[in-house]
Amino acid sequence: MLFISPPFGNYLDFKNTISIKGSFTLYSRSGLIKQIFKTLRYDFKQGGWVNKIGLRNPGIDYAIQKYKNSQAIISIAILESSEIPVFNKKIPSNMNLELNVSCPNIDVKEKNNINNNLYHFLNKERKWCIIKLSPIIEKQVIDHYYNQGFRQFHCSNTLPLPNNSGGLSGEKVKEANKEIIPYIKNKYPDVTIIGGGGIQTINDINLYKTLGADHYACSTVFFNPYKSYLLYSNMLNKQPNIFKK
């Protein structure tokens, strides 16, 4: 299956794909358009898109109202551990979720408190309850998520740049995933992995499949309509088995 990650997942819905909407915080965070124009750029030296949008979004109440009857996956970002029961009370028990646990602006103690309580989002009514990992995540943290009961991992989010200067997508994320995905799949063969980061062509899909990914996630390829059309049509026409997982 092909997943369309944010921000493009907020706007695009295609046949045989699943859109991921978000990420949504508990309360709205204004300034999205301003931050896009201010920070989104292609870094030729780094070989990828850079942004520092900072989770600007209209909040989880908006997401619930807009997508409550949708098959989309709602990405949420938890900034404080005290938000977990509030999120859980608000979000319908059958709403598919992706937990974005890679926000770099949370202090270590609070992040540990959040990580220790994510299992509250797991239930049998959700087809998807995904952990979206950071490309620099420590392996023992992945083990901790598994031991809480998580069996769906998205590898991975953007690569945090030094001095909190933004997140980088592209080839460097793919390089990090070459270590993360085999680690998870070899240690936990019952896990479902969504591989994403730097996917531009069918060759990238095949690489992720070789690494052990079961599904695939794209985002920045949609900056180029022609590339995204080729990728989608190649998957649909030449690789039909990809859509049968």
End-to-end CA distance of the chain, in Å? 6
Among 169, 167, 173, which residue's Cα sits nearest to residue 220? 169
Q: What is the pLDDT along the chain (245 residues), one digit of tens a residue?
A: 899 999 999 999 988 899 999 999 999 998 778 777 777 888 888 888 887 877 899 999 999 999 988 889 999 999 999 999 999 999 999 999 999 997 766 777 888 999 999 999 999 999 999 999 999 999 999 999 999 999 999 999 988 876 677 788 888 899 999 999 999 999 999 999 999 999 999 999 999 999 999 999 999 999 999 999 999 888 877 554 544 44
DSSP state of 214: S
How many CB atoms within 10 Å of residue 138?
A: 9
Q: Which domain holds residue 116?
A: 2-244
Question: In CATH, what number is assigned to the domain containing residue 240?
Answer: 3.20.20.70
Q: How far is CA 229 from CA 49, 102, 123, 170, 223, in A?
A: 19, 29, 36, 18, 11
List, in order, residues 6 or more apart from 46 with CB less than 8 Å away: 161, 168, 170, 172
Number of folded domains that form the chain: 1
